[in-house]
Structure 1
């Protein structure tokens, strides 16, 4: 009895091709996942004037061989948040910087003259390929703002510093390093009458203050861009695989049609 050497060779030639396609797809999806990892907050939407809101800053490590050793988060003071309490994070210590308000804020608990303007976590080591959540409790959110921007600075063990401080602009692509944004929903006065602040203690320089109402949220645009990009990758990979399979079948039919029948 005789075998089918041509069919065997065609099958063998398809195996390396399939392996190459699978490896390429894995590389593309892995690269897309790393590129889309940003410092984000959860939840990213809540009600204006809310109380006792738990907020988590999710920090990914995007380096190949360095650890994240520090995270600085700057809280907005043009629309101050009263009663900020960080939750203990195992392996990390947090330093709190307060700001004295030029105009005191009246709350149900009395008059507030100082608010937290910066939180700095140090002492930990966030390894590559992992992320860490840093949780805080916000005692009272403002009711005169449409969103709050939390600019963040991430420091690595190799000295690299990533500033998550960019703001999305209308008609422009999503920034590479967007600042985390908390969207405030519900009724309330329009923002724009924010007050300045005078910081006591060390603080991170983040550039000129921008009214919260004038800054569009980057969360929706950035998420949409990542979704469209991933969809395009899936369609492209599928088309490549189908095309390669069709070419292989065509070559095999041509070879079989010209082969000499064996007795």
Structure 2
């Protein structure tokens, strides 16, 4: 009775030759690399698609013009409203007109507490830029401008968390060393020396103030800062007149 001798393992049977395993590993690595890169980039892209406010740093007590950037991260729904809660300590607020949007300021206890933008639409993949002027609180530290973003399908994105969360609130840091950007001056003094991008816009009725403000226009041609200059100048004239009448009466 003869015993069958096992056939020797060749390249096509049993364990794969070492060279073949190396090539297959290289192919798998080349296929996994794009997937891993996408996995790394996806959280960064998602984290970037939230409501933000600029400038991110400002000085205490400054009359600051803020920009609110509202991106639409959905794929099948429009952004239809934005509600922004104002930090405590802001006692003066002007909302700049934005084409297609209606703005309402909610006040509590005589102080502005919330801005509501409605009526506009931001399609998927687009963004809106909204503006307002506020006087910063007289303190240093962080200011959280918590925001709610409404979508046409009924969903609401709540940007109210900490900076490390998945839904961070728009935040501004108040510091005496912050570089002034888009600061409105009520005295018409010259803009202080600052770094690149820093500027101070006079808001008085002077020629210099009107010229500087005329360089900043929104899409519908409305010179918002010139309007602010006229309003503030009118208030100053009214207060001066009232003081003169009181002195004469005395």
- TM-score calculated relative to the size of structure 1: 0.51
Counterpart for residue 66 of structure 1: 77
1:179 matched to 2:169: yes
1:1-263 matches, within 5 Å, as 29=41, 32-51=44-63, 53-77=64-88, 79-82=89-92, 84-100=93-109, 114-138=110-134, 140-168=135-163, 174-186=164-176
Q: Tell me, in whole angstroms, the C-alpha distance in 2 between the residues paired with 1:185 and 1:94.
A: 29
What CA distance in whole angstroms lies between the structure 2 residues aligned with 1:44 and 1:95?
A: 24
* Aligned-residue offset at 1:124: 1.0
**1:80 counterpart SS class:** coil
Distance 1:166 1:26 in 2: 26
Once residues 85 and 55 of structure 1 are traced to their aligned partners in structure 2, the CA distance between those partners, rounded to angstroms, is: 10
Partner Cα separation in structure 2 for residue 144 and residue 29 of structure 1: 37
Superposition RMSD on alpha carbons, in Å? 2.9
Distance change >3 Å, CA 145–CA 24, structure 1 → 2: closer
- Distance in 2, matches of 1:37 and 1:85, equals 26
Any idea what SS the aligned residue of 2:46 has? helix
Report the alpha carbon displacement of residue 125 of structure 1 after superposing the two structures with TM: 1.0
Per-residue Cα deviation, 1:1-25 (whole angstroms, up to 9, x for no partner): xxxxxxxxxxxxxxxx989966885
Deviation of 1:155 (Å): 0.7
What secondary structure sits across from 1:85 in the alignment? strand
* Whole-angstrom CA distance in 1 between matches of 2:174 and 2:120: 32
Q: Secondary structure at the match of 1:71?
A: strand
Give the structure with the larger strand fraction. 1
SS of the residue aligned with 1:59? strand
Residues paired across the two proteins, number: 155
Kindly name which structure, 1 or 2, has the bigger radius of gyration based on alpha carbons. 2
Contact 2:139–2:174 (8 Å) recurs in 1:
no
| Structure 2: distance between partners of 1:156 and 1:126 | 9
- CA shift at 1:141, angstroms? 1.6
Deviations 1:26-45 (A, max 9, x none): 68646642343221110010
Alpha-carbon displacement from aligned partner over 1:121-140 (angstroms, at most 9, x marks no partner): 111110111111111011x2
Partner Cα separation in structure 2 for residue 149 and residue 81 of structure 1:
16
Q: Kindly state the Cα deviation for residue 76 of structure 1 after the two structures are TM-superposed.
A: 1.5
Name stretches of at least 5 consecutive residues in structure 1 with no aligned partner: 1-16, 101-113, 169-173, 188-263
